[in-house]
């Protein structure tokens, strides 16, 4: 696996996990792999992502690219409406591939529409600020929801649809709305059929947190100007790279196995650590992928992120000397997008020893020094290093994490592809809002004096 753009290093686990422990997990990994690939494991109806990149429909890809070109020609802004897996993947990819301050660039400096995200909260201030940011610029909307009735995106879509129709008229507004939804059913599909909105399909066999390489993620990513062919090519390469169930041949499965060993030793929190601000949203996508896949039945690793070196000045003290229940996975970029040398001739700031050094080198040494300190302090560390920040590498990395969590969930004895706990807050919210069908629970809350 040395020729792949994603490399796993486990050297810093030597004091925490013995080689015999990994070997003892091999039979369970083999079974987990069989369950996943044969479609016989729990949640198997939602495992079509395993071969998604290599089997992607070419006609659908052309439709996505044509719609992206149309959005570019008609709009300065594309608002992506969705929550959870309906937006996290696209946002992570766009941030990963963009200049950090891309969203602040004037329209004249843009070759592609500004991508904004709505429907991921119920905050009126956020939505009002987004509308203000759109201003009088031409805009389009891509609404993403399997059902069309999820509260957060449904509210945002109502607001934005009204704004579109008031600005362009009902007929022209229809040409600026792109719907990504279920192929056969749901309120959003019904509306799209009635109004004639252009539709894209959320595959029935792909859950939201695995959907970034479907139209869910690919349409906004393409509209932002990035190469979705290369993104899929990277994921396709990863399909081949991580095909073996042999732990010695499969770094993604090694990652899954080491996580499970550490979890069973009491390391119940995992930090995904980055040293590049454009990787922050990758961490947000990863948190949902890992946490929603494994956090059930009273089990699972709690997933969090560390944005270093920034967070080393906030909760770095806790990592170094707090409870020894956490481990880190460091996500590091080998070749930076750009570099900058430390200026010379300013000795009063005490940086004479760094004069002329590239910031990438300083950042790398901060990474190495932190890793050594945390390991010495009792924090196990895994290192995932990617060659560079481009579409091909990212496609490979996304699949690395996806295939790893599929196996990891089975190793932990849970269904990695459902999320029953997500519905609990919705039921209470609906009852508090007196939604039809929740009258009994609404009455209970009234009796308890909650409303």
The residues assigned a catalytic role are 292, 426
Describe the strand order of the beta sheet including 302-307 as a list of residue ranges. Answer: 6-9, 381-386, 326-333, 269-274, 302-307
Residue among 76, 97, 368, 336 at smallest CA distance from 231: 97
Q: Tell me the pairing of strands 326-333 and 77-81.
A: unpaired
In whole angstroms, what is the distance from residue 163 CA to residue 430 CA? Answer: 26
C-beta of residue 176 within 8 angstroms of C-beta of residue 140: yes
C-beta of residue 53 within 8 angstroms of C-beta of residue 235: yes
The label of the residue with tokens 């939602």 reads: 46
How many Cα neighbours within 13 Å face the side chain of 358?
8
Q: Residue 186 phi/psi, 5° resolution?
A: 110, 155
| 265-269-272-277 Cα dihedral, nearest 10 degrees | -150
Residue 90 sits at the vertex; the CA angle it makes with 85 and 94, to the nearest 5 degrees, is 155
Residue among 9, 2, 14, 3 at smallest CA distance from 385: 9
């Amino acid at each position: 696996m040395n020729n792949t753009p994603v490399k796993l290093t486990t050297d810093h686990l030597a004091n925490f996990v013995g080689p015999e422990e990994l070997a003892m997990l091999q039979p369970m990994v083999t079974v987990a792999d069989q369950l996943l690939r044969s479609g016989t494991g729990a949640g198997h109806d939602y495992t079509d992502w395993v071969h998604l990149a290599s089997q992607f429909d070419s006609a659908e890809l052309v439709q996505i690219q044509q719609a992206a070109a149309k959005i570019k020609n008609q709009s300065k802004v594309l608002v992506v409406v969705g929550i959870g897996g309906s937006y996290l993947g696209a946002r992570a990819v766009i941030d990963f591939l963009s200049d950090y301050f891309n969203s602040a660039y004037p329209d004249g400096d843009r070759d592609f529409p500004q991508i904004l995200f709505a429907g991921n909260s119920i905050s009126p201030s956020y939505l009002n600020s987004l509308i203000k940011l759109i201003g009088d610029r031409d805009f389009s909307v891509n609404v993403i929801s399997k059902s069309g009735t999820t509260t957060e995106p449904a509210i945002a879509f109502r607001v934005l649809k009204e704004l579109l129709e008031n600005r362009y008229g009902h007929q022209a507004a229809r040409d600026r709305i792109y719907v990504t939804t279920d192929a056969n059913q749901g309120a959003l599909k019904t509306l799209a059929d009635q109004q004639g909105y252009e539709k894209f399909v959320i595959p029935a066999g792909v859950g939201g947190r695995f959907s970034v390489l479907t139209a869910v993620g690919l349409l906004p990513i393409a509209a932002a100007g990035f190469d979705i062919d290369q993104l899929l090519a990277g994921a396709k390469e990863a399909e081949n790279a991580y095909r073996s169930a042999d732990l010695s041949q499969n770094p993604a499965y090694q990652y899954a196995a080491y996580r499970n060993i550490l979890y069973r030793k009491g390391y119940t929190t995992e930090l995904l650590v980055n040293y590049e601000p454009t990787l922050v949203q990758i961490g947000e996508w990863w948190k949902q992928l890992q946490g929603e896949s494994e956090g059930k039945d009273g089990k699972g690793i709690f997933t969090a992120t560390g944005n270093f070196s920034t967070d080393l000045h906030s909760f770095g003290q806790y990592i170094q000397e707090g409870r020894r229940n956490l481990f880190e996975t460091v996500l590091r970029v080998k070749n930076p997008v750009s570099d900058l040398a430390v200026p010379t001739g300013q000795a009063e700031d005490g940086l004479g020893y760094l004069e002329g050094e590239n910031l990438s080198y300083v950042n790398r040494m901060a990474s190495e020094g932190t890793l050594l300190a945390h390991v010495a302090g009792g924090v196990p560390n895994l290192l995932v290093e990617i060659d560079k920040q481009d579409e091909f590498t990212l496609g490979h990395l996304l699949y690395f994490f996806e295939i790893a969590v599929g196996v990891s969930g089975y190793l932990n004895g849970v269904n990695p592809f459902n999320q029953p706990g997500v519905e609990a807050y919705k039921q209470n919210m609906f009852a508090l809002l007196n939604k039809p069908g929740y009258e009994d629970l609404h009455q209970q809350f009234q009796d308890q004096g909650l409303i």
